[in-house]
Amino acid sequence: MRLNKYLAAAGLASRRSSESLIQEGRVTINGHVMRDLSTVVDTEIDQVEVDGRPVYVKTKDVYILLHKPLNYVTTVKDEKGRDSVVDLVKTGERIYPVGRLDYDTTGLLILTNDGELAYRLAHPRYGVEKTYIARLNKKINDHDLQQLRRGVQLVDGKTAPCRARKLGKEIVELAIHEGKNKQVKRMFRKLGFKVVDLHRAAYGSLQLGKLKYGQWRNLKPVEVLGLKKLVGLID
Domain that holds residue 120: 63-124+206-230
pLDDT digits (tens, 9 = 90+) for 67-79: 999 999 998 877 8
Let me know if residue 170 belongs to a domain.
yes
In a domain, 23, yes or no: yes
How many Cβ atoms sit within 10 Å of the Cβ of residue 188? 22
pTM for the whole structure: 0.78
**Distance between CA atoms of 134 and 132, rounded to whole angstroms?**
6
Domain boundary among 55, 72, 92: 55
Total number of residues shown for the chain: 235
Query: Is 17 part of any domain?
Result: yes
Instruction: Round to whole Å and give the CA distance between 160 and 167.
Output: 22
Give the pLDDT confidence score for residue 93 in this predicted structure: 83
**69 and 15 in a common domain:** no
Verify that 143 and 27 share a domain, yes or no. no
Query: Are 117 and 133 within one domain?
Result: no
Per residue in 157-204, pLDDT tens? 999 999 999 999 999 999 999 988 899 999 999 999 999 999 999 999
> Tell me, what CATH number does 187's domain have?
3.30.70.1560
Q: Torsions phi, psi of 101, nearest 5?
A: -125, 140
Q: What is the average pLDDT score of the chain?
A: 92
Same domain, 42 and 74: no
Q: Please tell me whether residues 112 and 226 are part of one structural domain.
A: yes
Do 75 and 174 share a domain, yes or no?
A: no
Kindly indicate the confidence band of residue 1, based on its pLDDT and cuts at 50, 70 and 90: confident
Terminal alpha carbon distance of the chain? 36
Pair (156, 197) in one structural domain: yes
- Residue 197 and residue 210 in one domain: no
Residue 235 within a domain: no
CATH number, domain of 221, equals 3.30.70.580
Beta-strand pair 105-112/195-203? parallel
One domain, residues 111 and 218: yes
- Tell me: do 157 and 178 sit in the same domain: yes
Residues 193-196: contacts with CB under 8 Å, at least 24 apart: 193/136, 193/137, 193/138, 193/140, 193/144, 194/136, 194/137, 195/134, 195/135, 195/136, 195/137, 196/135, 196/136, 196/137
Beta bridge partners of 212: none
Number of independent structural domains in the chain = 3
Catalytic site residues?
A: 102
**CATH code of the domain in which 46 resides:** 3.10.290.10
Looking at the structure, do residues 118 and 214 belong to the same domain, yes or no?
yes
Is 50 part of a structural domain of the chain?
A: yes
Q: Calculate what percentage of the chain has a pLDDT beyond 90.
A: 71
Query: Are 80 and 104 part of one and the same domain?
Result: yes
